[in-house]
Amino acid sequence: MKIPHFTPSRIAPIATVLGAGALLGAVGPFASKFDNPVCQAVGVVFSVGWSWACFAFLVGYSRRSRIEASLLASSALAVGVAVYYLFKFLSPVVPAGGHVISGAGDGLYSRAVFWGVAAFAFGAPVGLLGSMARTPGIGGLGFRLLVPLIAFFEASQRLAAEAGDSQGRVVEMVWASVRVLSVVAVVLLVGHTAWSWWHGRGARQPAPAKRL
């Protein structure tokens, strides 16, 4: 059995991905602590499912080995969840009323364990799909459409469930923007694939024979 050698050139990309997972976990709760529309929007985007799925997908897309894509995506998501809840534990949100939100007594530990296990379990298949999205042409199009479709579905559900919610108009605008951008992404991905297929088809056609 051949034991892999973990040289610096192999460790650096792995450390970078795990560091990105930690950053992903910190951005959402950190931005949510500031009371301005931009930070609120950033906090919403980086604290919801589709952005985390997008991260795992991109991790898988960046790896050539599908096994490595699965393991690294799930590990990075688990690191992100750990940092996310650690940040909430160390720096709970205290609104004007004085009631601590997401403190130690608010079921934080059980939620951290649940979402950590879920991230590790679901990160692997999403990373695998990201790796499969590297397949050129129509064969990989369905995989490349995964994240925009997830974003569109989640945005639609959130808009329906949170219409008129007390969180305000910023959240509604974020989800409306996500839905529009996801549609644009689908159109661009389909258009690029169709364009590549058409031009590749033309290049494969034999040149007409010259008449003597």
Instruction: Mention every residue, 6+ apart, whose C-beta is less than 8 A from residue 74.
Output: 56, 119, 120, 121, 122, 123, 124, 127
Task: State mean pLDDT over 175-193.
Answer: 95
Q: Kindly indicate the confidence band of residue 55, based on its pLDDT and cuts at 50, 70 and 90.
A: very high
Q: What percent of the chain has pLDDT over 90?
A: 56
**For residue 105, what are its two tokens?**
């007594």
Asked if residue 151 has pLDDT above 50, the reply is: yes
Q: Kindly indicate the confidence band of residue 32, based on its pLDDT and cuts at 50, 70 and 90.
A: confident
Per-residue confidence (pLDDT) for residue 100, from 0 to 100: 43
42-45: long-range pairs with CB below 8 Å, 24+: 44/170, 44/171, 44/174, 44/175, 45/174, 45/178
161 compared with 18, residue with greater pLDDT:
18
